[in-house]
Amino acid sequence: MRDEDEIVRESAGGPYRQIVARGVSRRDFLKFCSAMAAVLGLSGTFAGKIAEAIEKAERPILVWLEFQDCAGNTEALLRATKPTIAEIVLDVLSVDYHETIMAPAGKQAEKSLEDVVKNHKGKYIACVEGSIPLKDNGVYCCVGGRSAIDIAKEVCGNALATIAVGTCATSGGIPAAAPNPTGAIGVKQALPNVTVLNLTGCPMNVENLTATVVHFLTFGGLPATDSIGRPLFAYGERIHDHCERRAHYDAGQFVKQWGDEGHRQGWCLYEMGCKGPETFGNCPVVKYNEGTSWPVQAGHGCIGCFQPEFWDKMTPFYRRLPKVPGFGVEVTADKIGAGVAAVAAVGVAAHRIARAIRGKQDKKEDTE
Ligand code: SF4
């Protein structure tokens, strides 16, 4: 007698056909759909809709452009070995051009890109990794004899959607750090008339790319974003508000030196330069390497790489956030976070926490 998976294998359509062909069970597939609903901030009831969409969707075409980059986001993509299904969902995209991983080279490779733009105008997804240099007519980054800005204008300008991956593509990143010798900028700034979704991070978390693709397959469009084009499901809340060390922060228990007793006890890394209070991202929730860990859990402060221009604005990495005179350390951090929150229109939690902490501080002062 045939089991359920066998029946599914024979009847599967869309990208789901590739998934079952890899031996993924129906149960694991549905678990993946539930996990994606959670990452996207949707209720569990959306898991069925996601499953249905992946089963029926056309295999989308994707082209991946690399400009001034270190290929760190490509590495993140390729290292997505677990959860396996996430990798497979990315696999089942028809990746028609990706200079690091594609078999063809030279003119043949460039022809693949030309063919996509010509034959699938308005129907493909363009992912861009790396910044775009504008100085001296863009000569500092050329591929196949064309400048990055020239390629981006044509490829992104004719795409159904453009996703900028990593901090270099979203705001210039390290190439744009002062003195920015090549005049590097992010894709959104370079192409103001193109709709660009920004997945910041150095590198971006591949879970967020997977969830974006799943959102696209399920709802036929890109997710809602904040004022700088980042999806709210991934960048709507501060790292500080979901950090497992937060209770130590609230209790005033700070690591003072690497390897001290507080560090061994997992206390807050704020005084060691942690930028979690002014960084928006879902690192503490989604984590990395199959949800194993994330930098703060591993004992290092957040360096704020999810924030635009982090290389200039978040350094020195090991110096604590500036202290505003007249406030305690906790209120200072939350005031800064609240300022950033106002920009992203998600400041309610920050104010609530600031009030609670202020109350605690007042009580402490009364006692003293
Ligand atoms: S300052 Fe950093 S380590 Fe401390 S609670 Fe906030 S995010 Fe976590």
Residue 166 contacts residue 72 (beta carbons within 8 Å): yes
Q: 10-24, 100-114, 129-143: lowest mean pLDDT where?
A: 10-24
Region 331-360: mean pLDDT is: 41
pLDDT at 264: 97
pLDDT at 6: 56
Domains and their CATH numbers in the chain: 58-234 (3.40.50.700), 239-367 (4.10.480.10)
- Flag whether pLDDT at 363 surpasses 90: no
In the reported structure, the alpha carbon of residue 240 is separated from the centroid of ligand 1 by a whole-number distance in angstroms of: 5
pLDDT band at 137 (very low <50, low <70, confident <90, very high): very high
**What atom of ligand 1 comes closest to residue 270's alpha carbon?**
1
Name the nearest CA neighbour of 204 among 160, 168, 258.
168
- Flag whether pLDDT at 357 surpasses 90: no
pLDDT at 210: 87
Ligand 1 neighbours by CB, cut-off 6 Å? 239-240, 243, 245-246, 249, 268-270, 274, 276-277, 296, 301-302
pLDDT at 13: 56
pLDDT at 53: 87
**What atom of ligand 1 comes closest to residue 274's alpha carbon?**
2
pLDDT at 43: 85
Region 333-352: mean pLDDT is: 42
Q: 106-110, 139-143, 229-233, 243-247: lowest mean pLDDT where?
A: 106-110
User: What letters, b where the CB count within 10 A reaches 16 and e where it falls short, cover 252-272?
Assistant: bebbeeeeeebbeebbbbbbb
Region 314-319: mean pLDDT is: 91
Alpha helices, DSSP H only, in the chain? Answer: 4-11, 14-21, 26-39, 46-56, 72-78, 84-91, 106-119, 148-157, 167-171, 187-190, 206-219, 232-235, 246-250, 261-264, 283-286, 295-298, 310-313, 329-344, 348-367
Residue from 275, 296, 303 to probe ligand 1 pocket by mutation (most atoms less than 8 Å from CB): 296
DSSP secondary-structure letter at 338?
A: H
Could you give the percent of the chain with pLDDT greater than 70?
A: 80
Residue from 237, 242, 244, 246 to probe ligand 1 pocket by mutation (most atoms less than 8 Å from CB): 246
In the reported structure, the alpha carbon of residue 320 is separated from the centroid of ligand 1 by a whole-number distance in angstroms of: 11
Q: Output the residue whose Cα is nearest ligand 1's atom 1.
A: 270
In the reported structure, the alpha carbon of residue 135 is separated from the centroid of ligand 1 by a whole-number distance in angstroms of: 38
Highest-confidence segment of 17-26, 100-109, 244-253: 244-253
The residue among 235 and 16 whose pLDDT is bigger is 235
- Flag whether pLDDT at 30 surpasses 90: no
**What atom of ligand 1 comes closest to residue 239's alpha carbon?**
7
Give pLDDT tens digits for 197-235.
999 999 999 889 989 988 988 998 899 999 999 999 999
Whole-number mean pLDDT of the chain?
A: 83
DSSP string, 11-46: H--HHHHHHHHTT--HHHHHHHHHHHHHHTT--TTH
Q: How many CA atoms lie within 13 A of 101 on its CB side?
A: 17
Q: 136-145, 303-312, 320-329: lowest mean pLDDT where?
A: 320-329
Q: Output the residue whose Cα is nearest ligand 1's atom 6.
A: 240
Tokens read off for 200: 């910041």
pLDDT at 56: 82
The residue among 347 and 38 whose pLDDT is bigger is 38
Give pLDDT tens digits for 184-197.
999 999 999 999 99
pLDDT at 78: 81
Q: 74-78, 79-83, 258-262, 347-351: lowest mean pLDDT where?
A: 347-351
In the reported structure, the alpha carbon of residue 74 is separated from the centroid of ligand 1 by a whole-number distance in angstroms of: 29
DSSP secondary-structure letter at 268?
A: B
- Flag whether pLDDT at 364 surpasses 70: no
In the reported structure, the alpha carbon of residue 166 is separated from the centroid of ligand 1 by a whole-number distance in angstroms of: 23
pLDDT at 356: 37
pLDDT at 81: 59
